[in-house]
């Protein structure tokens, strides 16, 4: 019993042969030979094979549409639900026999034995569907439905997998960012430890410097106490000298004794004045350690007046030099301010001006004590005959 019945015109036999060979290669029993066996009626023989076949492929061409046998076989196959129409060449719907164009035909007009050809795959689905028993088709439909469901589930799983991969990628990136933050924090900790070490060392150095300053202060206080004791001794000596002078007034006048008494009084007054000034305006430690040298004034009234006059006056050349250096000079004026520095042992106004460097804006020269005061900035000025002041322009 044939699986497939081929209906075609004998003129198209060679065009149908490749199709027959492809079907036979797939293992199907194909009826296509029109040679009738001996002692067999042709009509009966054809009808029997058509009735026994499971599907009938009818090949339409410009020749077969005029064949009464092909038309008849197509009509019978159509009534029994076995008909599969195939075009061997393009045909107009008007050329088809009446009632046989209701089913769309497979177009193999340009088929070249390619089993992957779109129209051949279409023909294959047609004859496999007709050759497959209904229960097999149902089973296949169930399998296809299951495969479709599995495909949908697989796509859903792949979608979830991609989403999880994206989340894992984000987490990996977040972990990398956290690691970088951790490394940066560790670097900052190392830097902070180094800074703490430097600050600790600086604090230790500051403590040592403070101790050194304390020792210097204690030394200065000790020297001041010694000077105070000396001043007290000189004060007692002055008192004793005054007492002796009072006693001497009751005795006859002797010029040499009076001269010695005057020199002693002058010397004691100078020492007491210097000591009192040191207690009120203490000099730096380096100055306190210098020995005090007392010198007698030259004898004679004119000599004393000349010395005081030269000491209390700033010369015109010094004023001009200060103006050239960028200072405005105020004579008989004393500057006042908070941030200042005392400088002792300056002989002239010009030497005091030379001490006003860097942040210094104002300096005042004490013409009496030969001392210099430099200020970062002055807060006020006071008229004082013993001072001359320079202000940086």
Compute CA distances 75 → 31, 57, 58, 104, whole Å: 18, 12, 10, 15
Instruction: Return the DSSP state at 296.
Output: P
Instruction: Return the DSSP state at 299.
Output: S
| Residue 376, token pair as written in the block | 């970062």
Name the CATH topology of 310-392: Hepatocyte Growth Factor (3.50.4)
Name the CATH topology of 4-131: Rossmann fold (3.40.50)
Average pLDDT over residues 21-33: 90
pLDDT at 289: 35
Confirm whether 4-131 and 310-392 share one CATH topology: no
Q: Does residue 254 register a pLDDT over 90?
A: no
Do residues 53 and 2 touch, judged by C-beta distance below 8 A? yes
* Separation of alpha carbons 219 and 225, rounded Å: 10
Confidence of residue 145 (pLDDT cuts 50, 70, 90): confident
Beta-carbon-side half-sphere exposure of residue 278 (alpha carbons within 13 Å): 24
Whole-number average pLDDT of the chain: 82
Do residues 349 and 318 touch, judged by C-beta distance below 8 A? yes
* Separation of alpha carbons 297 and 303, rounded Å: 8
Do residues 361 and 369 touch, judged by C-beta distance below 8 A? no
* Separation of alpha carbons 20 and 6, rounded Å: 8
Helix axis angle, 255-280 relative to 134-248, nearest 10°?
170
* Separation of alpha carbons 28 and 3, rounded Å: 6
- Beta-bridged to residue 84, according to DSSP, are 57
Q: Does residue 95 register a pLDDT over 90?
A: no
Beta-carbon-side half-sphere exposure of residue 306 (alpha carbons within 13 Å): 7
Q: How many residues does the chain have?
A: 393
Confidence of residue 38 (pLDDT cuts 50, 70, 90): confident
Helix/strand/coil for 386: strand
pLDDT at 345: 79
* Separation of alpha carbons 125 and 144, rounded Å: 14
Cα three-residue angle 307-313-318, rounded to 5 degrees: 120
Say what percent of the chain tops pLDDT 90. Answer: 39
Residue found by looking up tokens 């007392």 in the block: 294
Residue with more model confidence, 110 or 141: 110
Compute CA distances 353 → 98, 278, 286, 339, whole Å: 134, 23, 21, 17
* Separation of alpha carbons 113 and 108, rounded Å: 10
Sequence spans of domains, the chain: 4-131, 310-392
Confidence of residue 273 (pLDDT cuts 50, 70, 90): low
Confidence of residue 201 (pLDDT cuts 50, 70, 90): very high
Residue with more model confidence, 345 or 392: 392
pLDDT at 287: 41
- How many Cβ atoms from other residues are within 10 Å of residue 390's Cβ? 30
pTM: 0.38
* Separation of alpha carbons 378 and 363, rounded Å: 9
Find all residues with CB under 8 Å of 384, minimum gap 6, and list them. 332, 333, 334
Strands 380-392 and 327-336: antiparallel
* Separation of alpha carbons 254 and 258, rounded Å: 6
């Amino acid at each position: 019993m044939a699986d497939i019945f081929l209906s075609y015109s004998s003129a198209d036999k060679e065009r149908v042969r490749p199709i027959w060979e492809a079907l036979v290669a797939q293992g199907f029993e194909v009826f296509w030979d029109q040679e009738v066996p001996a002692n067999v009626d042709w009509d009966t023989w054809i009808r029997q094979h058509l009735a026994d076949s499971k599907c009938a492929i009818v090949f339409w061409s410009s020749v077969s549409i005029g064949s009464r046998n092909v038309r008849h076989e197509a009509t019978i196959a159509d009534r029994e639900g076995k008909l599969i129409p195939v075009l061997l060449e393009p045909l107009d719907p008007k050329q088809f026999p009446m009632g046989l164009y209701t089913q769309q035909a497979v177009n193999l007009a340009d088929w070249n034995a390619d089993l992957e050809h779109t129209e051949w795959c279409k023909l294959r689905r047609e004859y496999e569907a007709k050759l497959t028993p209904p229960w097999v088709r149902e089973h296949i439909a169930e399998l296809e439905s299951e495969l479709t469901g599995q495909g949908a589930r697989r796509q859903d799983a792949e979608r979830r997998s991609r989403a999880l991969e994206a989340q894992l990628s984000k987490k990996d990136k977040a972990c990398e960012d956290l690691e970088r933050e951790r490394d940066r924090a560790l670097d900052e900790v190392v830097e902070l430890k180094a800074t703490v070490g430097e600050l600790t060392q600086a604090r230790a150095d500051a403590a040592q410097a403070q101790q050194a300053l304390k020792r210097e202060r204690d030394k200065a206080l000790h020297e001041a106490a010694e000077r105070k004791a000396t001043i007290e001794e000189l004060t007692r000596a002055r008192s004793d000298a005054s007492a002796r002078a009072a006693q001497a007034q009751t005795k006859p006048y002797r010029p040499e004794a009076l001269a010695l008494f005057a020199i002693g009084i002058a010397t004691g007054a100078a020492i007491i004045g210097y000591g009192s000034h040191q207690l009120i305006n203490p000099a730096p430690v380096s100055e306190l350690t210098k020995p005090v040298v007392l010198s007698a004034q030259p004898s004679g009234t004119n000599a004393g007046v000349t010395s005081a006059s030269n000491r209390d006056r700033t010369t015109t050349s010094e004023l001009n030099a200060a103006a050239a250096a960028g200072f405005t000079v105020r004579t008989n004026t004393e500057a006042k301010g908070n941030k200042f520095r005392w400088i002792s042992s300056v002989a002239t106004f010009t030497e005091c001006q030379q001490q006003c460097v860097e942040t210094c804006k104002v300096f005042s020269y004490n013409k009496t004590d030969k001392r210099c005061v430099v200020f970062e900035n002055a807060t006020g000025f006071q008229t004082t005959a013993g001072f001359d002041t320079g202000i940086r322009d």
